[in-house]
C-alpha cells in the first residue's frame, strides 16, 4: 500500500518532467525511500528537490512515518539505461562485456538495442615492418555489456 502510493507519486513527478528518468527506486526498512534519478541533460539539485517535494508533500506524516532520499548518479556510476548512453554520445567509455572483452572507445551512437563504439589501434602493417594506425568499430547489444562507465578526462 505505502509502496504503491510512493510509486504513483514518483510517476506523477516524472510525467511532469519528461527530461528526468528513474534509475533506481526502493523502500528499505522503516519506510526509508531511496530514489535515484538521471536526466537527458544531467540532474541539478533543483531536480532532486522537485521529485522530493512531489512525494513528501503528498504523503501524510500522520499516516506514514518515512524518510526520503532523492539523488542523482555519481560521475563514475556505471550506465544502466539506454537513455544514459544517448546523452553520452561523443564521450569516451570504458566498457567490459559479459565475455570480459574490454574497450576504451568513443560512443558514436546508441539505439534502443545497442551501441556503436569507435577507437584507433596500432596494428602490424600488412606488408613490411612497423605498425599502422587503424580505425576500429564494435557494435554491442545492451545485453552483452557487463559494465560501462564514462571515462573522466582531466
Domain ranges of the chain: 2-72, 82-150
In this prediction, residues 90-110 reach a mean pLDDT of: 97
Residue 127 has pLDDT above 90, yes or no: no
Residue 73 has a pLDDT of 85
The whole-number pLDDT of residue 153 equals 79
The model's pTM is 0.80
Give, for 114, the enclosing helix (H) or strand (E).
strand 114-124
- DSSP per-residue letters across 21-51: EEEEEEEEGGGEEEEEEEEBTB--HHHHHHH
**Residue-level pLDDT at 128:** 85
CATH architecture of 2-72: 2-Layer Sandwich (3.30)
8-state DSSP, 144: G
What's the whole-number mean pLDDT along residues 25-35? 95
Is the separation of the CB atoms in 20 and 43 below 8 Å?
Answer: yes
Reported as a pLDDT band with limits 50, 70 and 90, residue 52 is very high
Q: How many percent of the chain have pLDDT more than 90?
A: 84
Domain covering 82-150: architecture = Roll (2.30)
Beta-carbon count within 10 A of 112 CB: 8
**What is the per-residue pLDDT for 62?**
86
Amino acid at each position: 500500500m505505502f509502496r504503491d502510493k510512493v510509486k504513483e507519486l514518483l510517476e506523477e513527478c516524472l510525467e511532469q518532467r519528461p527530461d528526468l528518468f528513474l534509475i533506481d527506486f526502493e523502500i528499505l526498512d522503516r519506510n526509508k525511500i531511496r530514489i535515484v534519478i538521471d536526466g537527458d541533460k544531467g540532474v541539478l539539485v533543483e531536480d532532486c528537490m522537485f521529485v522530493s517535494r512531489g512525494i513528501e508533500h503528498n504523503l501524510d506524516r500522520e499516516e506514514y512515518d518515512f524518510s526520503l532520499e532523492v539523488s542523482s548518479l555519481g560521475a563514475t556510476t556505471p550506465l544502466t539505461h539506454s537513455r544514459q548512453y544517448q546523452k553520452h554520445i561523443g564521450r569516451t567509455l570504458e566498457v567490459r562485456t559479459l565475455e570480459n572483452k574490454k574497450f576504451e572507445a568513443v560512443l558514436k551512437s546508441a539505439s534502443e538495442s545497442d551501441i556503436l563504439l569507435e577507437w584507433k589501434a596500432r596494428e602490424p602493417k600488412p606488408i613490411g615492418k612497423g605498425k599502422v594506425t587503424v580505425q576500429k568499430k564494435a557494435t554491442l547489444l545492451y545485453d552483452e555489456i557487463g559494465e560501462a562507465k564514462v571515462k573522466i578526462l582531466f
